[in-house]
Amino acid sequence: MAEAFFKKYATGKFQATSAGTIPADKVNPIVVQAMKEVGIDLSAESPKTLTESVIHESFRTINMGCMDKKSCPALFAKDILDWGIEDPKGKSIEEVRIIRDDIESKIKKFIQNLEAS
């Protein structure tokens, strides 16, 4: 969700890559539904694995939240911004909408800060 919102709101001067330490095989169908409600189609997307090169090449790393404390990016990435976002896995559409809206709000503020600096 964060990568999709970043692509929607960023000026093109910046790029985003979303990845997880233990990604699912496919995007959560409830997430796909919630994002489709705001005009973003994630049905053809595939979760990506977070690699050292992705972290190394990043200007800024944002951690959404950690389900698995042993593989949390905050343990091995420097200067990480942790948003503490709940994982949408197993959540109802109503709960995923709240998570989606929280991510969208945080992304908009993050982009404003990037563009101002």
Q: What is the pLDDT of residues 12-46, one digit of tens each?
A: 788 888 888 778 899 999 999 999 999 999 999 99
Q: What is the pLDDT of residues 50-91, one digit of tens each?
A: 887 887 788 788 888 765 556 565 555 667 788 989 999 999
Domains along the sequence of the chain with CATH: 2-110 (3.40.50.2300)
The pLDDT, as a whole number, for residue 69 is 57
> Residue 63: which H helix or E strand, with range?
strand 61-63
Mean pLDDT in residue range 92-101? 98
Contact 58, 38 (CB under 8 A): no
Structure tokens at 95: 């709960």
Separation of alpha carbons 21 and 26, rounded Å: 14
